[in-house]
Amino acid sequence: MLSIRASSLAADCPKRWAVGHPDLRERIEALTEPLRQRPPHVGGIVGGGGHAGLADLNRALRDTGEVGGRGRRSAAAETAVAEVDRRYDEAAGNVMTDDVTADQDTARRQVVGMTGQWHDRQTPEDAPELIERGLQGKVAGIEVTGTPDLWSLRGHLSDTKSGKRPPRPEVHGPQQGVYAMLLGARQRPVTGADLVWLPRTKKPRPIEIVPLDIDAAQRAAYARIRFLSRMVSDFEAAIDGDLGPWWRDHPTDVLEENPQSFLCAEAWCQAWGTTACNSWRLKIKEPK
């Protein structure tokens, strides 16, 4: 049975979504060749550390009803740094860095800044009810799972995104839409939502709140899940030969590609450089 993670809906290339799906990945590799193994990117490590620090602050606010002082801020920063170190250790130092986060020490400083900023923004009125609560259910008849960052009793849903650029509602909105539907099925209605941007930039920048139309996000989520489900059904039919000889011989081509995706590049896609994808070959410029 197909299961979809809400966070995976941010993938703007269906094939990149497919090769990242654990069940589909095995079938794609069996039909083509082993997909590329990418080391973790430092952006994900900083994002994980920032999430850990903010969750620490959010739980303390929920449990005490108070923002707390320097001690709480320091404790959250320690949690964030510990998560960065854990992920670096897990990767045995094999991490893709960039010009914004060149090394582990820079990653540590960045997550400390993120947690400090979030602590300064908190008020008792912001106390959340649910923090990183795992959810599971069905949307468009498909099993979906997800872990929303924050939901408050006033019905507000927030999701935290770190990165060089602010999160785009049209990209990340469907993820929130899934959360809203799963929460609504549990008598926890969502009446408002936003995306919290934790800037990962060379020069410190303030946290930004990006508003989100939660009704549009739910509708987009429903449509995207239905599209992915139908694509996977076509993939299975192609393997079985039900779509004709061409698709039987090229079943992975049923999984659509988006060469215009920002992440259609060697650094980001596991299908790049393999026979599982055609777009990378069309993008490579042949020497004259």
**What domains are there in the chain, each with its CATH number?**
3-38+220-280 (no CATH), 42-125 (no CATH), 130-214 (3.90.320.10)
- Identify any residues that bridge with 192 across adjacent strands, giving them in sequence order: 156
State how far the Cα of 2 lies from the Cα of 121, in Å rounded to an integer: 40
**What is residue 266's predicted lDDT score, i.e. its pLDDT?**
86
State how far the Cα of 198 lies from the Cα of 43, in Å rounded to an integer: 11
Question: Which pair of tokens denotes residue 106?
Answer: 């820079």
Of 7, 41, 15, 18, nearest to 163 (Cα)?
41
Spans of the chain below 70 pLDDT? 286-288
Calculate the dihedral angle through the C-alpha atoms of 181, 219, 223, 133, rounding to the nearest 10 degrees: -30
- Percentages helix, strand, coil for the chain (3-state, rounded to 5) are 50, 15, 35
Helices and strands (DSSP H and E) totals, the chain? 9, 8
> Are 256 and 278 contacting, i.e. CB atoms less than 8 angstroms apart?
no
State how far the Cα of 190 lies from the Cα of 179, in Å rounded to an integer: 9
Of 177, 175, 179, nearest to 137 (Cα)?
179
**What is residue 288's predicted lDDT score, i.e. its pLDDT?**
47
State how far the Cα of 192 lies from the Cα of 190, in Å rounded to an integer: 6
> Are 253 and 275 contacting, i.e. CB atoms less than 8 angstroms apart?
no
State how far the Cα of 195 lies from the Cα of 208, in Å rounded to an integer: 8
CB neighbourhood size of 90 (10 A) = 12
Report pTM. 0.92
